Amino acid sequence: MSISRRGLIFGLPLFLAGCSTTSMNSQADYAARPSEPFPLKEVPIEKIKPELRRTEVAYVSNHKPGTIVVDTPARRLYYVLENGRAMRYGVGVGRAGLALSGNAYVGRKAEWPTWRPTANMIRRDPKKNLKFAGGMPGGPNNPLGARAMYLYRGGGDTHFRIHGTNQPDSIGHAMSSGCIRMMNHDVIDLYARVKVGDRVVVIQETARA
């Protein structure tokens, strides 16, 4: 998903005072999910780099609980909890020039969503994307994975999403068309926490200068 570079900077994200890991995760976080419409297999925890695993951490910031903070340079997403805590997830982010920056909010949510390439994606790669202009139904081959949270500004869809992926090797890298990718097990966990209307702050490299 993408918008023009000129449209990327909408307000400055808030300062993060600090973040440190204080709790461990387990194989149970990535157990099989046979009850899903498209069942998910167990993901062996040893195949996930420790720094990319879902983990509750100490997180000091001035963001309110319920805020989603995407630290693009670090390839991390934080869901802010109470009492100076956050749930941290490893994510994949957009390639240079294709990433959202600043403030947004969750405009809607969907389970096993339909995927449609944006007009920009079709223009960049019509051979790959034009055939899906009418939409690809949800399922294991769908690029949006098991869940999607649609990011809005001012009542309008930005065409950016926080979503699952059928390419787990992309987590921790900048290689998407602009959206924020998560492992399917992680996006299911985040989806259950997030409400429509929750604030999203996306930090880019320029915001750290």
Catalytic residue numbers, as ranges: 163, 179
Which backbone phi and psi does 141 adopt, to 5 degrees? -100, 0
CA-CA distance, 103 to 118, in Å (whole number)? 21
